[in-house]
Structure 1
Amino acid sequence: MDLIPRALQLLLDKDMIGFAGLWAEDGVAEFPFAPSGWPSRVEGRAAVEDYVRDYPKMYDIKALPKQVVHQTTNPDVAILEFDAEGVVVATGEPYRYSYIVVIETRDGEIVSYRDYWNPLNLHEWKS
């Protein structure tokens, strides 16, 4: 899935508008483990753009040292494992986090992005 390396590079480039632009107009981002007060579902490209727009103000991602793509039997679905390293902008503390994301595409755009991030680490990110 060629879209995945592009998405990861956009994250490194802090191009969140470009990252959100990978979504289909009706694409969805889901966060199954989101705690209370955090969105568990973001619907549509514009809403994804609003959701990710300020990430570089919170996390200065400097590297993605682990990037593993698992292809599934469906050519439009892949599982991505990646680590992000950088700095929590508000505190200057190191940021290192592992992600597992299930991505489904249609016509080269993301229609479903299920991010299984761990809310137990949330306290580390707050200023």
Structure 2
Amino acid sequence: MTPATTAQRTPEDLFRHGLRLLLDQDFAAWVDLWDDQGVFEFPFAPEGRPRRLEGRSAVAAYMRDYPDHIELHDFPHLTIHQTQDAGTIIAEMSAVGRLVATDEPFAMSYVAVVTVANGRITHYRDYWNPLAVPASMRS
């Protein structure tokens, strides 16, 4: 995808495209949607887990092992809300899939506040319930 094409996408289009990339397990392309200085925050992260990642390289390092833990199958619920800031959306969603280590089902609900500028994710706050994280992923 050329930078001009990426820059023309609305935040909602970019977010939906990113979900498709996650389902396709194309994590490198998903990371490429990020601004070099993008910030990824996890306000409800449990003790010992990162609460803030700064920069695309930190996001890439964080996502590197994702396919070893979770295989996403679908986002069966997705509602995207527009905000007064044209570059920011709020997404309510659920994800389902499979835990790789145990072959057990995976299901999680999220609220994400995502800001996009110049066709790149600049800030992503990922609100999820750490109490719902399967025991096999807590260590």
Q: Gaps spanning 5+ residues in structure 2: where?
A: 1-10
Q: Distance in 1 between matches of 2:110 and 2:14?
A: 17
Pair 1:120 & 2:128 matched: no
Relative to the length of structure 1, the TM-score reads: 0.95
1:72-105 CA-partner distances (Å, limit 9, x unpaired): 0110000011111111110111101111100011
Matched, 1:21 2:38: no
Aligned residues: 127
Task: Give the gaps of 5 or more residues in structure 1.
Answer: none
Secondary structure of the structure 1 residue equivalent to 2:47: coil
Cα drift, residue 125 of structure 1: 4.3
Counterparts of residues 39-58 of structure 1 (less than 5 Å): 39-58=50-69
Aligned Cα RMSD in Å?
A: 1.2
SS in 1 for 2:15: helix
The 5 Å alignment of 1:77-96 reads 77-96=88-107
Runs of 4+ deviating beyond 6 Å: none
Provide the TM-score with structure 2 as the length reference: 0.87
Q: Percent same amino acid at aligned positions?
A: 45
Pick from 31, 45, 51: which aligns with 1:34? Answer: 45
Determine the C-alpha separation between the residues in 1 that align with 2:34 and 2:87. 14
Paired with 2:90 and 2:136, the residues of 1 have a C-alpha distance of 25
